[in-house]
């Protein structure tokens, strides 16, 4: 009986777990290089989603590296961040 269960378990495959605690990132370009930043909650709107690090920036925010279009925002003001 144990052999039957052992054979049956070899066919049972479990897909790799997806880590649900991984934080999503957005991206900005600083000096020509892509930098990951925490996901920005920019509501859909007519403006461009931007962030500012103190006196540095503002930087346009992208969902993915190498995107052509930045995220949109309902606000013209940049979100403050720390790099």
pTM for the structure as a whole: 0.71
Q: Give mean pLDDT, residues 18-29.
A: 76
Maximal C-alpha separation, the chain: 71
- pLDDT for 8: 60
What is the tens place of the pLDDT at every residue in 30-71? Answer: 999 999 999 999 999 999 999 999 999 999 999 999 999 999
Reported confidence tier of residue 83, pLDDT bands at 50, 70, 90: confident
The candidate with the shortest Cα–Cα distance to 48, out of 32, 36, 63, is 63
């Amino acid at each position: 009986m144990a052999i039957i269960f052992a054979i049956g378990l070899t066919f049972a495959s479990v897909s790799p777990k997806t880590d649900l605690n991984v934080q999503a990132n957005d991206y900005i370009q600083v000096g020509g290089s892509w930098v990951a930043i925490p996901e920005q909650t920019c509501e859909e709107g007519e403006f461009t989603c931007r962030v500012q690090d103190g006196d540095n920036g503002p930087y346009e925010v992208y969902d993915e590296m190498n995107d052509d279009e930045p995220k949109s925002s309902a606000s013209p003001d940049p979100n403050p961040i720390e790099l």
